[in-house]
Amino acid sequence: MPIIPTDFDELDRQIIAGLQADGRASWTDIAERSGTSVATITRRGQQLLQSGAVRIGVSRDINSPGAADLFMLRIGCAAGKQMEVARALATRTDLRFLCLVTGSCDLLAELVCKKAESLHGRLINEIQALDGVEVCQSDLVLHTYKVSQSWAQQLISPSEPQPLDSKEPHTCDPSHFDETDLLILKALREDGRASLRSVAELLGVNESTVRRRFDTMRERGCAWVLTLVAASALGFESEIILNITVTPSRLDDLARELASVVGVRFLAATLSGSLICEVIMPTTEDVYTFLTQRLGKIDGVLGWTANVELLTIKRGFLETPWWHEN
């Protein structure tokens, strides 16, 4: 197994930022944006992918296989059992996100459960039955305000302000997919940069059909190309998940204001009446500024608790390439 780099130079960071903007961007496009030769960008970009430092896959909406609900899980483990439980949970296809954290729980996860399936069976008979799991608290996600991976875009051109990625995710339903769409997503899941010609040959359809269908799913927001890279390797010190307690009447307005912050990577309202907010900041000092000068001054914020992300195991249903190394 190749050794995954733990830090990157400036050119690596520009390539990674370009892939975050579009995981299927051509090396030519990235070279033009970085002012470097195509040959150099191609060689360095392929090295990043082959080393496992960066993984590009295709993630799907939770409703693609059928109407589903999303639950936030807070899992407490017996002492010394955290990684054993994490390994068991990483194999589950119904977990979109899984992370080892500090705080009142050991693992945070997003569980996707089809509306026709038993949540009780998943939680009691499967997850809580794992050796090492002591407690599992769940909270239903009612509305997602933001899902973003543009947190490192300033690395492309630090002097130019980047547009805020505050548009709410598209709400998909099963009617937006048919069998061919699902097969296309499955074929691209592990390698988001695979050629559409190879996908077409695999499925026995025209390349133009694959391209049209895949472009439509991306434009709608039913599927997206996900670029996975360790934030710490890019120099970002802080990845934190906040559980924000808010005044009920202010929840929606408050969430829309928070969604405009570049460092907010994920934001959703839960049944408990709180906001789940994932924040990624370059430094700990930036976190302090965000909490005191931004979050703490928004009308309707009553308080918050926080979990520091120690190790991200899954994101967008995909296992991160670096977590086994840890």
Q: What pLDDT score does 174 carry?
A: 80
Specify if 5 maps to a domain: no
- Domains of the chain: total: 4
Specify if 15 maps to a domain: yes
Q: Where are the alpha helices (DSSP H) in 142-293?
A: 179-188, 196-203, 207-220, 251-258, 284-289
Map residue 173 onto helix, strand or coil: coil
| Domain identity same for 305 and 158 | yes
Specify if 4 maps to a domain: no
| Domain identity same for 107 and 78 | yes
pLDDT tens by residue, 271-324: 999 999 999 998 999 999 999 999 999 999 999 999 999 999 999 999 998 887
**Two tokens at 212?**
């049209």
| Domain identity same for 195 and 260 | no
Specify if 23 maps to a domain: yes
| Domain identity same for 134 and 150 | no
Domain CATH number, residue 307: 3.30.70.920
Which of 188, 221, 254 finishes a domain? Answer: 221
**Mean pLDDT, the chain, as a whole number?**
89
pLDDT tens by residue, 39-96: 999 999 999 999 888 999 999 888 887 889 999 999 999 999 999 999 999 999 999 9
Q: Show the domain range for 187.
A: 178-221
| Position 21 pLDDT exceeds 90 | no
Q: What is the mean pLDDT of residues 139-167?
A: 66
Specify if 205 maps to a domain: yes
| Position 111 pLDDT exceeds 50 | yes
| Domain identity same for 252 and 212 | no
Specify if 1 maps to a domain: no
Strand ranges for the chain from DSSP E? 54-60, 68-77, 95-101, 107-114, 133-147, 223-229, 238-246, 264-270, 274-281, 301-315, 318-319
